[in-house]
Structure 1
Amino acid sequence: MAVKKIASDTLDFILESCRSSHPHEFGALLEADGDVITHIIYLPGTDATTQSVSINTWMLPNMRHAGTVHSHPSGIARPSGQDLIFFQTGEVNIIVGSPYTRKSWNAFDRGGNKIQIEIVDYEFQDEGLLDEDLMGEDDG
């Protein structure tokens, strides 16, 4: 199934991650539920500078990913030649330019062609333990 959407909360998390990493680039992999990008996968050993980000895909657990996301602190949200090589790892590749707002990102296919990704509300399923599970049973 082709990825055509991104969860609003996921996009906001990506934008905040890019802001927090500035002036260094931010980079991660994208995970989708059906046709909606829902999560990012930040891999151990990811190395970022003000000019580039290197993601060690050999650290990826045995799981499928939908594409990549990375920031361009320069503000230019278009792929470079190096980005086009990086894009081969996924179906959808997002570049977020400074100032990291909902107006400063673009999505691209593997060939570097701009594609439209719709921002949607998405109801996340509770995938983890509840706070009560972490605290144990009440003594009371």
Structure 2
Amino acid sequence: MGLLDALFRSSGILGIAEETLDFALESAGESHPDEYMGLLRASEASRLGLDREGLVVTDVLVIPGTETNSVSATVRTSQVPNDVNAVGSVHSHPNGVLEPSVEDLASFGRGSVHLILGAPYRNHDWQAFDSAGEPRDLEVIDVSLPDPEDFFDFDQADIDEELREW
């Protein structure tokens, strides 16, 4: 397992926050006719007020230097952060096809959930896949997400706790 692979959590994903999915669909629409791409981050369900074990996809990280056009998106791996909360990827298919390409399948090894968003980017214009490219169910969960300002509100003790959980 490579360093990049080790940074992605690989199990226990319950679903995606509705607000996160809405953000990704809106962002894909704004990027159209070019592809949109980002990495998915997750939070413990209990931290979101859910009485369940597992993870909920709560964030989309857009990587600086990502190159996109109408048929592909390429992330510079040197720009991918060391993020223990990363669980997979999201990208759009401007042609609306909700099936992974050969190139998509090659990138699906990192993480356990990968979303493809298709034009015209409405609430039902997406599909989740596992790392092998097989469709998987992903519940859309209505939860209140933490304030984005809290993302940068951490200290060494918080980092140590995250690493212990991982």
Following superposition, the deviation at residue 127 of structure 1 comes to: 4.7
1:67 to 64, 88, 112: 88
Tell whether 2:23 aligns with 1:2: no
**TM value normalised by structure 2:** 0.74
For 1:4 and 1:47, how far apart are their aligned partners in 2?
30
For 2:22 and 2:83, how far apart are their aligned partners in 1?
24
Partner of 2:8: none
Tell whether 2:140 aligns with 1:119: yes
Partner of 2:158: none
**1:1-140 correspondence to structure 2 within 5 Å:** 1-34=11-44, 35-64=55-84, 65-128=86-149
For 1:40 and 1:76, how far apart are their aligned partners in 2?
21
Task: Please list the CA deviations of residues 52-100 of structure 1 after superposition, one character each: whole Å capped at 9, or x if unmatched.
Answer: 0001232122212110000000000110111000111211000001010
Task: Please list the CA deviations of residues 6-26 of structure 1 after superposition, one character each: whole Å capped at 9, or x if unmatched.
Answer: 000000000000000000000
Aligned residue type for 2:65 = G
Q: CA contact under 8 A between 1:4 and 1:116: conserved in structure 2?
A: no
Length, aligned pairs only: 129
Please say which of residues 57-66 and 109-118 is displaced more in the overlay: 57-66
Aligned residue type for 1:27 = M
CA RMSD of the aligned region, Å? 1.2
**TM value normalised by structure 1:** 0.88
Following superposition, the deviation at residue 38 of structure 1 comes to: 0.1
Moved over 2 A (4+): none
Structure 1 residue runs of 5 or longer lacking an equivalent are 130-140
For 1:4 and 1:54, how far apart are their aligned partners in 2?
28
Higher helix share: 2
